Structure 1
Amino acid sequence: MQDTWKKKFTILWIGQFISLISSSAVNFAIIIWLSLETGSAEVLAFAAIAGLLPQAVIGPFAGVYIDRWDRKKTMIFADGFVAFCTLIMSVSFYLGHESLWLIYTMLGLRSVGSAFHMPAMQAAIPMLAPQSELLRIAGINQIIQSVSSIAGPALGALAIGFSSIGNVLLLDIVGALVAITALLFIHIPNPEIAEQAKASFDQVWKDMKIGFQEIYLNKGLLYLFLYSIIAMFCIMPVAVLFPLMTINHFGGDKFEMSLIEIIWGVGMLLGGSVLGIWKPNINKVVMINLMNIIIGITFSWSGWLTAAQFIFFAILTAVGGVAASLYNASFTTLIQEEIKPNMLGRVFSLYYSLIVIPSVVGLLCTGFIADFIGISQTFVILGLLISLVGVVSFFTPSLMKLGSK
C-alpha cells in the first residue's frame, strides 16, 4: 500500500512539475511583455483581475461538481481547456493581433479552467495518501512549485529574449499535454457520495449551502478563512507591483525582474524542503500566524530600502518566499485534516472564491495606490497590515484551538 501511493504521487508530481514550469515561464513572459510594453500598474492589475475574477465567480459552483465528478477526469479536461485558450492567444499573437483585451479575455477563460483544476487536485490528495503524510506531501508540493518558480521565470525571460511572445505561449500547451498524459497512468479514487441526486440547480444550491455551513459552523475555520482573506487583500497589490518595484524603484530590467522571481522561488524551495524532509511538531495555526507576520515584515522592510539596496531587497524576497511556502503548506494541510473528503472540493472552491473577491478590490486600487502613494510606500503600509493580521490571529481563541484535537 505504501509503495502504491508513492508511485502514484511520483507519476502525478512529474506531470505537474513539467506543467508548472511551462505555466510559470509563460506567465512571467506575459508579465515581462506587459511591463515593458506598457509600464503601467493598472494594466498589470487588470491582467491579474482577469486571471482571478472568473475563478471567484464560478468557484462555489465548480466545487459542487468537483465533489460529484470523477476528479481525475476533471483535472484532465481542465488542463485541456487551459491549453486550448493558450493556443488561441498564441495564434492571435502570431497573426499580429497584440490586443490587451484579447489577453484579458484569454486569461479570464484560463481562470475558468483553474477554478476546476486546483480544487480537484487538492481534493484528490487525501484520497491517495495516508493522513499522517499530508503535511509532508504539502511540503513536497511546495518544493515542486518552488522549483517551477525558479526555473519558470528564467526560462520565460530566456524564451522571450530569443523568440516572440506568441511562440513562448506554446510552452504552456506542451506542459499541459505532459500533465494530462501523466494523469492517464494513475487511478484516483473518488469518495462515496451520500446523495446521488442529479445536480439540478436546486441541488447545486443546496450543496453550496452545505459547503458554506461546513465552514461557518467551525468557528476556528471561519476565522482562519477571514484572516486569510484580509491578508490576501493586502498581498495581491504588492505581488502585482513587484515587477514595477524592481524596474522603477531599483532601476532594474529583464534580468533583475527574473532574478527577483527566481529568488522568491528559491525561498519557497527552502521552505518546502523543510516540510518535505522534516515534519515539524509546531502547531499549524501557530505556523500560519508566524508566517503572516514574517511576510508582512519582508514587504514593509523592502519599501524602506533605498534604490542602492537591491541586494538586500533580494534577501528579503528570499525570506518572504520561505514564509509563503510554510504558510501555504500548513494552511492546505489544516483544511485537508479538518474537512471530510467528500466536502473538500466545495470547501477549497469556496476558499479560492472568497480570497479572490477582496483581492480584486485591492487590485482595482493598485493603479491609484502606485500613482498617489508610491510603490515603496505601498509595500510599507500593506506589509504592516499583513503582520497585524498575524498578531491578531494569536488572540483569537477558536482559531488557536483549530487542529489541536
Structure 2
Amino acid sequence: MKETWMRKFALIWAGQFISLISSSAVNFAIIIWLSIETGSAETLAFAAIAALLPQAIIGPFAGVYIDRWDRKKTMIFSDAFVALCTAFMALNFYMGNQSLFFIYIMLGLRSVGSAFHMPAMQAAIPMLAPKDQLLRIAGINQIIQSVSSIAGPALGALLIGLFSIGNVLLFDIIGAVFAITSLLFVYIPNPEKAPDDDSSKLAKVWKDLRIGIVEVFRDKGITWMFIYSIIATFCILPVSVLFPLLTLNHFNGGKFEMSIIEIVWGVGMLIGGGLIGIIKPTVRKIIFINIMHIVLGLTFTISGILPTDAFILFTVLTVIGGAAASIYNANFVAIIQEEIDPSKMGRVFSMFYSIAIIPSMIGLLSTGFVADNIGVNLTFIILGAVISFVGIISFFTPSLMQLGKK
C-alpha cells in the first residue's frame, strides 16, 4: 500500500514540478517583456488583475463543480486549457500582433483554468494517500512550489535573453504536456457524491459563503485579523507587481537584476518557512503576525528610500521581506486552523482569498496610475508605511490581541 501511493505521488510530482517551473519561468518572462516593452506600472497592474481576478471571482464557485466532477479529468482538462491559451498567445506573437488587450484576455483565461486545477489537485490528495501522511505531502508540495518560485524566474530571465517571447511561451506548453502525461498513468478515485439537486448548486455556494462569513464575525479577534490582513494585502499586491519596475527604473537594472530580485524573494520565503519548521517559538502567533506586518512594510519603505546605487542592500531587504511574508502566512493559517470550526474552515479560507484579492484589484488599478505619475519608489514608500502602520495599530486592538490566549 505504501509503495502504491508513493509511486503515484512520484509520478504526479514529477509532472507537476516540470509544469510549475515552466509556468513560473513563462510568467516571469511575460513580466520582463511587459516591463521592458512598456515601462509602465499601469500595464503591469492590468496584467496582474487579468491573472488574478478571474480566479478570485470564480474560485468558490469552481469548488462546487470540482466536488461533482472526476478530479483527474478536471486537472487534465484544466492543464490542457491553460496550455491552449498559451499557444494562442504564442501564435499571436508569431503573427507580429503585440496587442496588450489580447494578452490580458489570455492571462484571464489562464487564470480560469488555474481556478479549477489547484483545488482539484488539493481535493485529490486525500483520496490517494493515508491520513497520517497528509502533512508530509503538504510539506513536499510546499518545497516544490518554493523551488519553482526560485528556479522559475532564473530560467525565465535566461529564456527571454535567448529566445523571442513567442518561443518562450512554448515552454509552458511543454510543461503542461509533462503534467498531463504523468496524470494519465495514475488512477485517482473520486469520493461518493452526495445526493444533491443540480439546480441547487449556486444556491449551495451562496449558503456556504454566508456560513463562512458568519463564522468569521463570530469572533471579534478573527474579524479584526481579517480586516487588517485585507488592508495589508491591498498594499502588498501592488508592491509585488512593481518590483520589476523598481529594479529597472530606480536601480537601473536589467533582466539579470530583475531575476535576482524574484529569486531572493523565494529564498527569503524558504528561510522563513524553515525557521518556522525548525524553531518552536513561545511567542503567541498574533504577535508574530503584527511584527511581520511592521517588518515587511519597512522593507518596502526603505527600498523606496535607497539611493540608485544600493541594489545589493535592496536585495538583502527583499530576502528579509520574503522571510517576513512566509512567517506571516504560516502564523495566519495556524490561527485560522486553531480558532475556526474545522467543518467550516475550507469556506473561511476560500472566502478570505476572494475578499482579500478583489479589493486589491482596485489597489492595483490605482497604484498603476499613481506609480506612473509620482514614481515607483515613492509608491513603495507610501504603501510600505501603510503596511507597517497596520502592524502597529494591531497591537492596540484588544480583541485581536486576545487570540491564542485560551
Partner of 1:161: 161
Q: What do the CA deviations read for 1:20-45 (whole angstroms, capped 9, x no partner)?
A: 21111001110111111111111111
**Could you tell me how far 1:82 is from its partner in structure 2?**
1.5
Q: What do the CA deviations read for 1:154-186 (whole angstroms, capped 9, x no partner)?
A: 111111111111111111122223333444555
Quote the Cα distance in structure 1 between the aligned partners of 2:326 and 2:11: 22
Partner of 2:374: 373
Quote the Cα distance in structure 2 between the aligned partners of 1:298 and 1:358: 23
Q: Which has the larger radius of gyration?
A: 2
Partner of 2:31: 31
Q: Any stretches of 5+ residues in structure 2 without a counterpart?
A: none
User: Bigger CA drift: 167-176 or 103-112?
Assistant: 167-176
Partner of 2:231: 230
Quote the Cα distance in structure 2 between the aligned partners of 1:125 and 1:219: 33
Partner of 2:21: 21
**Could you tell me how far 1:317 is from its partner in structure 2?**
0.5
AA aligned to 1:359 is S
CA contact (8 A) 2:60 2:205 kept: no
Q: Any stretches of 5+ residues in structure 1 without a counterpart?
A: none
User: Bigger CA drift: 119-128 or 377-386?
Assistant: 119-128
Quote the Cα distance in structure 1 between the aligned partners of 2:69 and 2:184: 16
State yes or no: 1:293 paired with 2:294.
yes
Q: What do the CA deviations read for 1:232-263 (whole angstroms, capped 9, x no partner)?
A: 10011111111111111111111111111111
Q: What do the CA deviations read for 1:208-242 (whole angstroms, capped 9, x no partner)?
A: 33343343435444333322211110011111111
Partner of 1:60: 60
State yes or no: 1:83 paired with 2:113.
no
SS of the residue 2:273 aligns to:
helix
Quote the Cα distance in structure 1 between the aligned partners of 2:355 and 2:95: 38
**Could you tell me how far 1:300 is from its partner in structure 2?**
1.1
SS of the residue 2:198 aligns to:
coil
Partner of 2:100: 100
Q: Would the alpha carbon gap of residues 227 and 151 (structure 1) be closer, same or farther in structure 2, given more than 3 Å must change?
A: same
Partner of 2:240: 239
Partner of 2:310: 309
User: Bigger CA drift: 43-52 or 2-11?
Assistant: 2-11
Q: What do the CA deviations read for 1:326-385 (whole angstroms, capped 9, x no partner)?
A: 233343455456566765554443222212211111111123321333221211121121
AA aligned to 2:247 is T
Q: Would the alpha carbon gap of residues 175 and 288 (structure 1) be closer, same or farther in structure 2, given more than 3 Å must change?
A: farther
Q: How many aligned positions are there?
A: 404
Quote the Cα distance in structure 2 between the aligned partners of 1:279 and 1:4: 34
Q: Would the alpha carbon gap of residues 395 and 19 (structure 1) be closer, same or farther in structure 2, given more than 3 Å must change?
A: farther
CA contact (8 A) 2:50 2:104 kept: yes
Identity of aligned residues (%): 67
User: Bigger CA drift: 351-360 or 136-145?
Assistant: 136-145
Q: Would the alpha carbon gap of residues 91 and 44 (structure 1) be closer, same or farther in structure 2, given more than 3 Å must change?
A: same
Q: What do the CA deviations read for 1:290-343 (whole angstroms, capped 9, x no partner)?
A: 322221111111111111111100000111111222233343455456566765
Quote the Cα distance in structure 2 between the aligned partners of 1:116 and 1:267: 29
Quote the Cα distance in structure 2 between the aligned partners of 1:369 and 1:110: 28
AA aligned to 2:27 is N
CA contact (8 A) 1:93 1:165 kept: yes
Quote the Cα distance in structure 1 between the aligned partners of 2:126 and 2:224: 23
Partner of 1:354: 355
| Superposition TM-score, scaled by structure 1 size | 0.86
Quote the Cα distance in structure 2 between the aligned partners of 1:15 and 1:329: 27
Quote the Cα distance in structure 2 between the aligned partners of 1:268 and 1:15: 23
Give the alignment's Cα RMSD to 1 decimal.
3.2
SS of the residue 1:196 aligns to:
coil
**Could you tell me how far 1:118 is from its partner in structure 2?**
3.4
SS of the residue 2:377 aligns to:
helix
Q: Would the alpha carbon gap of residues 175 and 261 (structure 1) be closer, same or farther in structure 2, given more than 3 Å must change?
A: same
CA contact (8 A) 1:143 1:272 kept: no
